[in-house]
Amino acid sequence: MIAAARHITLYACGREGLQLRGFCMRLFHMGLEVAMVGDVTTPAIGAGDLFIDCAGPGFVSTSEPLMNIARSAGARVLFITARPDAPLARLADFTLLVPAQTMADDQSSGASRVLPMGSAMEGALFILFEVMIYKLKERLGVTAEAMRSRHTNME
């Protein structure tokens, strides 16, 4: 879905949003047209585009209207979650399940006492996104040198 998209718009809240921002940056380094919801330069979404929404617990109130907007505009929707029964999955063209603890289940009897709240999900997202970039580099024929050439020189 990512490789075929004309433009990719991404959205997540909190620390999952931080992981998604890192993924967005790497997609940009690969030369793809990407933006995060809320950035002032985010273009309108439409046919041929992809909206990626991540909500580990399965529902975030701000995700639902954004997914509906993307679908109404003709974009495809990729939903990333830790919940196989996620209510938002019905709005997605594809749901990617990341089986990790989130804040939705951090109080259960089997919850990790080492990683607080949704840290397991956030760590899993980092690894997932790095593997996805590796696979996309191969699929799209993007070199490390090409990615480096797109890195900012304003630091």
Catalytic residues: 122
How far is residue 131's CA from residue 137's CA, in Å, rounded to a whole number?
10
Q: Phi and psi (nearest 5°) for 74? A: 95, 5
Which two structure tokens, joined as six digits, stand for 116? 């607080």
Beta-carbon contacts of residue 13 (< 8 Å; ≥ 6 apart): 55, 60, 62
Residues across the chain? 155
